[in-house]
Each structure stands twice: as structure tokens, then as C-alpha cells.
Structure 1
Amino acid sequence: MSIDARTRPEPAVGPALLEFVREALLADGGRVTDERIARAVRASGHVLGAAGTLSAVRSIRAELTGLGPLQHELPAEGLTDVWINGAHEVWWEAGAGPVRIPSPFKDDDEVRALAVRLVSSAGRRLDEAHPCVDVQTDGGMRVHAVLPPVSTGGTLISVRFRHRDVITVDDLVASRTVSPEILELLLSATARGANLLVTGSTGAGKTTVLNALLGACPPHERIVLIEDAAELRPLHPHVVGLQARHPNVEGSGAIGLAELVRQSLRMRPDRIVVGECRGAEIRELLTALNTGHRGAGTVHANSADAVPARLAALGALGGMNSEAVALQAGSALDLVVHLGRREARRVVEAVALVQERNGALQMTTASRLTVSGYRPGPGWQRFAELAERGEEP
């Protein structure tokens, strides 16, 4: 008796088919899509039929983009980071500090296979010729992987997860990231056109705070986001995004942040936002903010006081001397909002004014977080004026 096609069991995806599809996707380059997977399945020579191909596409996509045996060991809500330090050490964080869990991996081969799957799902290659790769998957995960012998303790995988829900200003207050009084002044200053630089270490909450502040921009403004990996999602009605492109396996086709800033100037932006300044793009951002555009950006820095040195170092990568950086930044930037971690909380540690004096860039503290709360500094009055100046939006 024949088996009805509707009840015929779906074919399993074997390792040979999975490996063929993975290699085909890597050879073509580009991101993993259902169409590309289906094309590779058909090219493999496996006769699966329409229903079988559809099932294979679903299974292969899950295999290529999931977190493997670790998937069910992680919290369902609030997850921000996962770190896999070889086969025997796994950590995750959901906002309250790192938590170590038993590793589900048998050996480093399993960890390496997971790293290769995640990287290949974003259209990149991870192998001996490319042992260090940073990608963003279509699902919004930011994945960084390092292979031995560059890594001395086995394959390393660092995964950052994008918040499913956009963090609002109310969330910032509820999580004690910033006091209501300081937040109100920052929102008002942003709405009235102040140019911001949000600083801090990795994971300090720069993107989260910038997202909330950009939501205060007047609704008639057009905001252009420029990022290495798309993470900003401000609650604003008119936002467009540009994302840098890494070189392909032949080493060509890259489009960097500096080029994207130049392209954004032709898009009639009211605000230009660079998600993370790491190099020569700081020159383009400062130039744009000195030619009638408003904007913001984030920079890694140890403190608000360390921002001048950090900007000078970044400017040097763009061919600017320290005096040129000071003159440009002093004219382009109004406020620095510095974030840090205290007792596993992300907090606004300081707000400072950006000023150029005698060819040098200086930070003047407007408010600083102490054990007893925020205390005003010598720049407090000017900070209040920034929040009150200009026309009502």
C-alpha cells in the first residue's frame, strides 16, 4: 500500500547534506536566506520533493543559525551576552552580572563547529586563514569568534543579543541607570539640538542610553544611523539606517563607516548618528557636525575626563593632529554622557561639557554620580542652559 504524500515522514537532514549546503553558501558569499539554502539543497543531488526541500530548508537554517546544544540552557528573557571559553567554560549575562553554567559541549570540535555555523550564517568564513571574525546574524546576534592557536584556550565565542523590546526613558529610570532629574535635562538638551557623545566601556549601556535620547528628537527630524552592526532602534518616526560592509572572502567590497558618513550627507539628514566611532570616521562625524548638521555618536573611553585623549587618538587615525581635533570637537560637540557599571548596574556616571581652550579640548563636569547621588559640578549652569535654549520643537 502506498503512503499518502501528506503523511509521508519528512526526510532527515544528514551531515553530508548539511556540510554540502554550508560549503555552497560560503562559496557564494552573502547572508543565509531560505532561497539560497533551497538552491544549495537542489544542487546537492538529493531528491526530496517540494515538501522535503521545504523541511530541509527549515532544519538547515536552524542548524546554521542556532546556538546548538547551548540553546536550551539559556534564560528565555533578558539575555544580553553569552561567552564560550573553549569546551569546558560557558558564561551568560542577563543584566545582573555574569553567571557560569555547566558546559554542554563534549570537546572543542563542537565549539568550533558552532562558531563556524554562526559565522557562515552571516556570509563570512571562519578558518585558519580567517581565525578572528566579527559578524551580525540576521537574527540580531553580534558574534565574535577566535580559533586556536590565536586563542590559547580553545575556540572562543562571544555573543551579544539585541533587546527584543526597545528600552524607553521610563526603563532607564526604573533600572536606576540615571536619575529622573538628570534624564529630563538630557532629553531636553537633545530635543533642542545639543550634539552628544555617549562614552563608556563595552557593555556599559551606550547604545541603550543613546536609543532613549534619540527618541526625544522632534518628530519632523530625519535621523540617519550609521553603524558597524545595526543595533540602534530609537522610538522615532523618521529613521533610516546605514550599515558597514565587511570585505568578502577575496578581501574586496568593504564599505567603512567613514564612507557611510559621507554618503549620509547626501540624504538630507537632520541628525547624523554614528553608532560607534573606532577610527577615522571621527573626522567625518566632527566635520559633519561643524557644517550645520546635528548629531551624536558613541566612543569607548574610561571616563569623561579621558575623552580628549581618546578623540585625539582616533583623530590621528584620520590624519588630524591634536589641535585640529580640539578645534573641531570643541565646536561640534556639546555634551559627553559617560556610562559605567556599579554593582552589575549600568549607570550614567557623569555628564560633562565639551570646550576648547587655547587649542586644547577640556571636559567640564556638569554632574557626577557619587555614593549619595548626583552632585552638580562647575558646568551645571551651562548644562541647564543647553536644556532650555532654542525654540520649542
Structure 2
Amino acid sequence: MATDTELLEKIQRRMVEETDRPDAAATARIVREEAGVISDVDVLAILRKLRHDSTGIGPLEPLLLLDGVTDIVVNGPEQVWFDRGQGLEQADLRFDADADVRRLATRLVVACGGRLDDAQPFADGRLRRSDGSQIRIHALLSPPADGGTCLSLRVLRQAVTTLEQLVESGTLSCELAELLQIMVSRRIAFLVTGGTGTGKTTLLAALLAAVPGHERILCIEDTAELQPIHPHVVSLVARSSNIEGRGAISLADLLRQALRMRPDRIVVGEIRGGEVVDLLAALNTGHDGGAGTVHANSLQEIPARMEALAALGGLDRHALHSQLAAAVKVVLGMRRTAQGRQLHQLGLLHGNPVEVSVIWDADHGSRPGFEDFRRRVSS
């Protein structure tokens, strides 16, 4: 039988009227009374639908069980897609109507403390799950979405990987892992770059695990993803404004607080705005060994990307290049391949204005400057 919306609404009203928290037996009884003659299979189908409408991410929950899933996107009731590292794949899953997608999107946004309705047809939020992971949520209602309500979910699992595990998975070689470990112990500041889902945060967490245990690491993030295996890590997480437009805490705010918290290393999980100005200032005033990630498709794009971000913080091009040249020495580029996520390039920043020299890449191995860099780091 079809579990139509009218029947579900009747059952939900009965559940609210009779008890705040009905147990499974009471819920099944209400289902049978409202649905009339119904098989056990149909009862289970309705119970499953009720659970999906009230907990987790609803009918999308089975997709979270897929190994390595990072993104789930819904384009109206007919199209559900997911990404587990090989690009988007269409799921064998449909919603009955756009109203079901809208109801799910609204519930998720409200659970994040936001608002989603005709007056506010788009919203962002973060949903924390019981397993410690978080889901970044974006919803866009129809209209303005032409083909139906759009829902985008990004699965944010805390990064607890070590360099040894990355070597085993083929992300980087043992030789490079040893070199990067020495680089971290020598307090050389670095940036990890790459596109979305390339493993930037995972590599950063693994490198932070190589920081000597007596040092204090302050991790500043928009969403708590970094959880390096290290005895002294303090996580500071930004916060968006509430429904009234108040209470926002930016990464720049947290960076200024971190400077007063006796940090040995300051790490920004993802540099995406004017906070880059405060980070570079910190790295140039005695806080060596800092790190962060930044979105860029190649190492050569980093100077231009940093220029754009610094402009948001009021720093002009000349000042940015002077600060960047003094603060950051090494850049690491990640990419996603058919075999998985991979360290693609290792580069050095030099000059003013800053340029990037690639001294190693996964396709060709060591390039001019690599052996000299290894000698300097290891000496």
C-alpha cells in the first residue's frame, strides 16, 4: 500500500494526542487503527517512514552507510546523488513528492538553529551526529530552485589519520612522510591546498600528529574536523549568527583569542576570508610552525588566492606578498584520483611578489630544488 502524506499526518496527530513518546507497540497499534486492513510489511514500511520523518537525515540515512561517502545532494524529488570519492553517482532512491524534500530540508535547518520558509528560501547549518561526525547542510527551496527543493549535505568526519596510515593507503610515499615529519618538527610553516574533497584536512591532521607532544596546538575551524592524535590540542570553532542575526563568531575573532592562549602552533582548518591577515601576522611575530588549508586547484594559484582573501581583510597586494614570503615556506597540493586521494605536489614559496616552485610531484618525482630542500630540512 502507498504510505501517502494524509495517512502519515493522521498517524502523527494521533501519536501527539495520545502520548509524547509512544513506544514501538503503541505506534504500531495507531498505524493499524488509522490504516485499516494492512499487512505486517506495510506496517513496517509506515514505521520506517515515520522514523525517517523525525530523526537523522530521513530517507537519506542509508547513503551514510556507504563506505567513504562525503557528499549527498538532492535535486528535487526525483534525483538523489552521492559522492564517495569517484565523482557523483545517482542513488536508487526517490522522494514521493517535492513536499517531502521540503519537509526534510526544513526539519534539518531548524535542527541547526536556522530558518527555512518562503520568506527565507535558503539556509546553511551544521548538524552534529551521535557518532561525532557533523553534516554541513545547505537547502534551497522551490522557488527559486526551478526543479524542486535542493538539498546539499557534506559529511564532515573528524580527521584522526596518521602519516603511517596515509602511507599504507597510498596517499604519499614513506620517503615523503619522513621528510614531512622532519619539516613539522623543525617548525616550518606550511599550507595544504587542493580542491573540494581531495583530503586537505586529513593530511593536515596527520602532520599535526607529528608535532612534538610538549607543544600546545590551537586549531581554529569553521567546523570541527581536525582531531589530530596529539596530547595537547585546543579546538576553537566559529559560529554563525542566530535567527535574529546575532551571536556570530568569526575565524578572525577566534584567531585573535588564540594569540592570548599561549599557543605553540596556530592552525586554521580552512583559510577562506580576512582571517588570513591575522594568521600571517601571528606567523611573523614568533608563532612558528603554523599551518592551514586553502582552496586552490594548483600550487601556482596560491599567491593569487591569498591576494583575494587578504583583500577581504583590508591588506593590499604588496603587504600580502611581504607577509606571505616571510611567514610560509612550504605548500603541499592534494588531488583526487581514481585510486584515491593523493599528495600531488610539494612546492616552495620564494621571492616578493611570491612565486611557487614545484620541487616534487607524483607524476615525475623529484624536481630541481628537492634534494637541496631535503638537505636543509634534515641538517
TM range (shorter): 0.7 to 0.9
Identify which range, 335-344 or 161-170, moves more after superposition: 161-170
1:141-173 deviation line (CA, Å, top 9, x unaligned): 222222233333322222222336722223322
- Residue of structure 2 aligned with 1:291, choices 281, 285, 291: 285
Q: Contact between 1:74 and 1:92, CA under 8 Å: does it hold in 2?
A: no
2:136 is the counterpart of 1:146? no
**Which structure 2 residues correspond to residues 173-322 of structure 1 after superposition, within 5 A?**
173-294=167-288, 295-322=290-317
Who is 1:9 aligned against?
none
Structure 2 letter corresponding to 1:141: I
Aligned equivalents of 1:85, 1:62: Cα separation in 2: 19
Q: Contact between 2:192 and 2:292, CA under 8 Å: does it hold in 1?
A: yes
Who is 2:337 aligned against?
342
Q: Contact between 1:95 and 1:344, CA under 8 Å: does it hold in 2?
A: no
2:128 counterpart SS class: coil
Aligned equivalents of 2:226, 2:286: Cα separation in 1: 23
Who is 1:35 aligned against?
none
Query: How much does 1:267 deviate?
Result: 0.7
Q: Contact between 2:167 and 2:174, CA under 8 Å: does it hold in 1?
A: yes
Identify which range, 230-239 or 103-112, moves more after superposition: 103-112
Structure 2: runs of 5 or more not aligned: 1-8, 28-47
Aligned equivalents of 2:243, 2:51: Cα separation in 1: 21
1:181 counterpart SS class: helix
Aligned equivalents of 2:89, 2:165: Cα separation in 1: 23
Aligned equivalents of 1:387, 1:14: Cα separation in 2: 67
2:157 is the counterpart of 1:163? yes
Instruction: Decide whether aligned partners of structure 1 residues 255 and 89 sit closer, same or farther in structure 2, where only a CA change above 3 A counts.
Output: same
Q: Contact between 1:189 and 1:386, CA under 8 Å: does it hold in 2?
A: no
Instruction: Decide whether aligned partners of structure 1 residues 384 and 13 sit closer, same or farther in structure 2, where only a CA change above 3 A counts.
Output: farther
Who is 1:104 aligned against?
94
Instruction: Decide whether aligned partners of structure 1 residues 79 and 302 sit closer, same or farther in structure 2, where only a CA change above 3 A counts.
Output: closer
Structure 2 letter corresponding to 1:362: E
Who is 1:123 aligned against?
113
1:340-370 deviation line (CA, Å, top 9, x unaligned): 1222622111111112x2x301111121121
- Residue of structure 1 aligned with 2:360, choices 364, 367, 376: 367
Structure 2 letter corresponding to 1:215: A
Structure 1 letter corresponding to 2:71: D
1:194-226 deviation line (CA, Å, top 9, x unaligned): 111111111111111111111000001111111
Who is 2:346 aligned against?
351
Who is 1:94 aligned against?
84
What percent identity do the matched residue pairs reach? 44
Aligned equivalents of 2:51, 2:330: Cα separation in 1: 45
Query: How much does 1:63 deviate?
Result: 4.8
Structure 1 letter corresponding to 2:368: P
Aligned equivalents of 1:73, 1:363: Cα separation in 2: 40
Instruction: Decide whether aligned partners of structure 1 residues 149 and 221 sit closer, same or farther in structure 2, where only a CA change above 3 A counts.
Output: same
Instruction: Decide whether aligned partners of structure 1 residues 252 and 170 sit closer, same or farther in structure 2, where only a CA change above 3 A counts.
Output: same
Aligned equivalents of 2:303, 2:14: Cα separation in 1: 54
Query: How much does 1:111 deviate?
Result: 1.1
Query: How much does 1:247 deviate?
Result: 0.8
Query: How much does 1:100 deviate?
Result: 1.4
Aligned equivalents of 2:245, 2:336: Cα separation in 1: 38
Identify which range, 330-339 or 93-102, moves more after superposition: 93-102
Structure 1 letter corresponding to 2:316: N
1:22-80 deviation line (CA, Å, top 9, x unaligned): xxxxxxxxxxxxxxxxxxxxxx9x6748998xx99xx9997555121222355354332
Instruction: Decide whether aligned partners of structure 1 residues 112 and 296 sit closer, same or farther in structure 2, where only a CA change above 3 A counts.
Output: same
Aligned equivalents of 1:14, 1:129: Cα separation in 2: 29
Instruction: Decide whether aligned partners of structure 1 residues 284 and 73 sit closer, same or farther in structure 2, where only a CA change above 3 A counts.
Output: closer
2:322 is the counterpart of 1:327? yes
**Which structure 2 residues correspond to residues 26-65 of structure 1 after superposition, within 5 A?**
48=19, 63-65=53-55
Q: Contact between 2:158 and 2:224, CA under 8 Å: does it hold in 1?
A: no
Aligned equivalents of 2:253, 2:372: Cα separation in 1: 34
Query: How much does 1:125 deviate?
Result: 1.5
Instruction: Decide whether aligned partners of structure 1 residues 198 and 73 sit closer, same or farther in structure 2, where only a CA change above 3 A counts.
Output: closer
2:126 is the counterpart of 1:133? no
Query: How much does 1:123 deviate?
Result: 1.3
Who is 1:376 aligned against?
366
Query: How much does 1:242 deviate?
Result: 0.8
